[in-house]
Amino acid sequence: MKQPKKTYVLGIETSCDETAVAVTMDGNELLSNCISSQMEIHQRFGGVVPEVASRRHVERITIMIQDALEQAGIALQDISAIAVTQGPGLVGALLIGITAAKALSLTTGIPLVPVHHIAGHIYANHLVRPLQFPLVSLVVSGGHTELIYMEAHNHFECLGKTRDDAAGEAYDKVARLMGLPYPGGPPIDRLAHVGMETYNLPRAWLELDSLDFSFSGLKSAVMNVIHNANQRGEEIQEANLATSFQQSVIDVLIEKAMRAVKKTGVKRLLLAGGVSANRGLRSQLQARCDQDGIYLQIPPIELCTDNAAMIAAVGTYQWWAGNEAALTLNAEPNLKMSAVHR
C-alpha cells in the first residue's frame, strides 16, 4: 500500500441521469460534492431517456469538474488520482464521465482509477462514519438491488441480486400504472404513510436459500389489481394500494437482508442507494435490526442518491491498492464487481 500524507481524489459519476463530480481527502473526508441533476428534464418522459441523459452530460461535465475543484479549494495538479464510474449503468452516459476522466489524465498525468457504481453506494457510508468489517450492505436504487458482503476494504462479494427489475424500478413502474409522477418512490412512500394494507400482493421469496430478488411479478400483480378494478367499474383505493405494494417490497428487502446477515454472521448492516430515502424501509429495517441486535447504518439522503463523492471514496482505497486503468478504459454497462475490485 502506497499511502502518501494526504490523498485527494477527484470522483466523476455519470452512470445515469446525474452529472456528478466531487473531491474527497483520504477517502473519508468530503471536500466538495457537486451534482447536476437531470430529474426535471426526464420527468416529462416518465423515466430516464438514455440519449437525453447523454446529451445533457456533455453540456455539464467540465462545468461540474470546475465547480467541484473550486468548492474543494484545490487545483487540478494537486489531485492524487481521478476515480470514475466504469459501470454498471447506461453505456452512453458512462462514456461521458470516462472520456472526460481520460482527457484529464492525459493532460495532467494523474492516474486513472475505475470504480464500480455499487461499491460507490456502499462507500457513501464511509464518508459519514468509517466502515467497520465484516458487514453486509443492502444496495437498493432505481437500477440496482443487491446484497454485498465485505470483510475488508476493496473486498466485495455479491450474495444476491435482482433477477429482473430493481426495487426502485418497480416503484417507478407501479407509480406509472397508478398515474403518479416519476420518480415513483416519493409519492408511493407518502401515500403508504396514510394507507392500509388491504390488497393481497405476492412476495417473491424464490428458492428457499436464495438471496436473490424479483420484483417483476409484484408489478404484474399491481397491474392486475388495477385492471380488474377497471373491468368491474370499481375505484382503486390509491393509498391502500400504495401501502400494500410498498409493504410487499419492504418485507422482501428486510427478510433477505436479515437472512444475509445471519448467513454471514456479521453484526453490521449498511443500507445504501436511492431507495434508502424511503421512510417505510428505513423505519421498519431499523426496528428489525434493533430487535435482532444488528447495528444498522444509513447514509444521509444526499449521499443515498447518485453522487461522485462515493466514487472518490472507493477510488481512494482502490488507488492505495494499486488499481490503475490505462487510457483504453471503456464503459461497461454490465460491469461485475469482481472485474474491477479485487
Partner 1 sequence: MRTLAIDTSTMVMGVAILEQDRVLGEMVTNLKKNHSVRLMPAVSQLLSELDLSVSNIDQIAVTNGPGSYTGIRIGVTTAKTLSWAARLPLYSASSLTVLAHNAAHFPGLIVPLFDARRSRVYAGVYRRLIDQLEPVIRPQVIHIEQLIKKVVSLNEPVLFLGEDVEIHRLNIEASFSSRLYFGQGGENIPHPSHLGLIAWRKHLDNEPPETDDFAPDYLQLTEAEAKWLQKNRRD
Annotated binding-site positions for substrate: 139-143, 172, 185, 189, 278
CB 81 within 8 A of CB 111: yes
23 binds partner 1 (CB under 8 A): no
Q: How far apart are CA 73 and CA 23, in angstroms?
A: 10
Least distance to partner 1, CB of residue 110, Å: 10
Burial class (CB in 10 A: 0-12, 13-18, 19+), 130: exposed
Least distance to partner 1, CB of residue 173, Å: 17
Q: How far apart are the two ends of the chain, measured CA to CA in Å? A: 14
CB 157 within 8 A of CB 264: no
**The only residue of 39, 75, 106, 287 in contact with partner 1, by rule CB under 8 A:** 106
Least distance to partner 1, CB of residue 98, Å: 7
45 binds partner 1 (CB under 8 A): yes
44 binds partner 1 (CB under 8 A): yes
Side by side, the strands of the sheet bearing 81-87 are 29-37, 18-25, 8-13, 81-87, 112-116
Which residues sit in the known binding site for Fe cation? 117, 121, 306
Least distance to partner 1, CB of residue 236, Å: 25
Nearer residue to partner 1 within complex by CB, 179 or 202: 179
Do the bridges between strand 145-150 and strand 157-161 make them parallel or antiparallel, or are there none, so unpaired?
antiparallel
CB 16 within 8 A of CB 48: yes
58 binds partner 1 (CB under 8 A): yes
Least distance to partner 1, CB of residue 181, Å: 15
Mark the segment that binds partner 1 (CB under 8 A) among 57-65, 205-213, 222-230, 313-321.
Answer: 57-65
Interaction residues for partner 1, span 65-104 (CB under 8 A): 65-66, 76, 92, 95-96, 98-100, 102-104
51 binds partner 1 (CB under 8 A): yes
Phi and psi at residue 270, in whole multiples of 5°? -115, 135
CB 165 within 8 A of CB 207: no
Query: Footprint of partner 1 on this chain (CB under 8 A)?
Result: 44-45, 49, 51-52, 54-55, 58-63, 65-66, 76, 92, 95-96, 98-100, 102-104, 106-108, 326-331
